[in-house]
Amino acid sequence: MQELTHYINGEHVKGTSGRFADVYNPATGEVQAQTPLASEEELNRAVEFAAAAQPAWAATNPQRRARVLMKFVALLNRDMDKLAEALSREHGKTLPDAAGDVQRGLEVVEYCIGAPQMLKGEFTDSAGPGIDMYSMRQALGVTAGITPFNFPAMIPMWMFAPAIACGNAFILKPSERDPSVPLMLAELMEEAGLPKGILQVVNGDKQAVDAILHHPVIQSVGFVGSTPIAEYIYATGCANGKRVQCFGGAKNHMIVMPDADMDQAADALVGAGYGAAGERCMAISVAVPVGDETADRLIEKLVPRIEKLKVGPYTAGNDVDYGPVVTAAAKANIERLVQSGVDQGAKLVVDGRGFQLQGYEDGFFVGPHLFDNVTRDMDIYKTEIFGPVLTTVRAQSYEEALGLAMDHEYGNGTAIFTRDGDAARDFANRINIGMVGVNVPIPVPLAYHTFGGWKKSAFGDLNQHGPDAFKFYTRTKTVTARWPSGIKEGGEFSIPVME
């Protein structure tokens, strides 16, 4: 049984709390490792090292900080296969999907290499007689991130790359379900030249989270996970004077107009709905065909595609479409929600219940499901299922379809499939959702734009990566300077005004 560690001040450190969490192989159901769950004292020690190392790092030329990230990118490419295999072993993703997880994080690191440009301030000369004004972006100090199991490479890099590029130290609390890749990333950052103490990994559960939220030295907290936890972290972190950005749950709708290319729409729905076993916050989980004829054509196209999906472990080859879900509890919750859909009157068109994979009977595999005739009062519509379950809600008009997405409490992502530019433009302008795809099922922005939802999918004023990240991880300081031409006598007692 492998015992994992924390990564504190450049070293792998065994846990001292006496508490551990099991790390499973989702394909077999076996416990393959144990990860330590940090105490408040262990978190505090990591913060002490970070606080000691951070001032020198912030004083380092931004271009030199960027060179560390350049080297890190090279190391990520060198170790891509190793990282993907470790990720798949603990999460269950297919190897190509795991490599994509690393790649999308890598792209944010590449963007952050441009930190010297993003950190430039503003300058106004002669704002008044002999007066110049200028602004500076300065690091916050010690920052922290709490990241989810479903993207154990990408989301940590979305957080720590911009934070470190801005001159901060970063404490990463990854998911205890798949912590190996975050530990490997910390090693690679130091191999790239990052000073000890600037990036540290503290494994843990709620005890570690609360220690982060209440620690007076930690200046900001980022989080990705479920909405109830996002609300808790946002409220608690803000109450403790921290800058906080939290990203929560989702229920992403894809509107299919009558004029859409139905083969294209069906392919998009299968990939977006069942990829990574549906364990993506940007997964399409609700198809909304407009009109019964459109719905019937769409279902006809979907069924054979879904029935041909290959479900298996990552070791079965790159033609596997998706693997197991992350835990037995996740599998049980998905199965409970599927049964609730049947009980509440939805039509189960593709029934994945009872799915078993020969030789992997104890694994956490869930067969693909497709529901039709789902209504907005059903649990499978209201709840984020986070599994390989696609629901179909029939709309009789474009306005009804638009209203479904707009009325839902979540607002992470959405898409419309149509050949009508006017409908697409109207949809993009009116929808109250943060990320919109037009004939693109999963509209995750590239690294130089920002990622973030609306409504109960996001809490905080700034999004992840892109220009917003440099705003989130820095404070603006504005300086007004006067250099008199000679010594002046006496003081001025009136508020200065422009003359």
Burial tier of 2 (Cβ tally within 10 Å: 0-12, 13-18, 19+): exposed
CA dist list (Å): 179 to 23, 25, 77, 223, 467: 8, 12, 20, 16, 28
CA-CA distance, 260 to 75, in Å (whole number)?
Answer: 43
CB 136 within 8 A of CB 477: yes
| Residues whose CB falls within 8 Å of the CB of residue 286, separated by 6 or more in sequence, listed in order | 251, 252, 253, 254, 374, 381, 390, 391, 392, 393, 404
Q: What is the CA radius of gyration of the chain?
A: 25
Minimal CA–CA distance to 371: which of 265, 285, 307, 312?
A: 285
Considering the candidates 112, 166, 246, 281, report the single residue annotated as catalytic.
281
Identify any residues that bridge with 277 across adjacent strands, giving them in sequence order: none
Helices 180-191 and 62-78 cross at an angle (nearest 10°) of: 130
CB 28 within 8 A of CB 196: no
Q: Phi first, then psi: give them for residue 26, nearest 5 degrees.
A: -65, -25
Long-range contacts at 17-21 (CB < 8 A, ≥ 24 apart): 17/42, 19/205, 21/176, 21/177, 21/203, 21/205
Q: Phi first, then psi: give them for residue 132, nearest 5 degrees.
A: -115, 150
CB 174 within 8 A of CB 86: no
Q: H or E stretch including 182?
A: helix 180-191
166 is an active site residue:
no
CB 37 within 8 A of CB 117: no
Tokens of 230: 């996002």
CA dist list (Å): 368 to 101, 263, 319, 355, 441: 22, 19, 16, 9, 18
Enzyme catalytic residues? 281
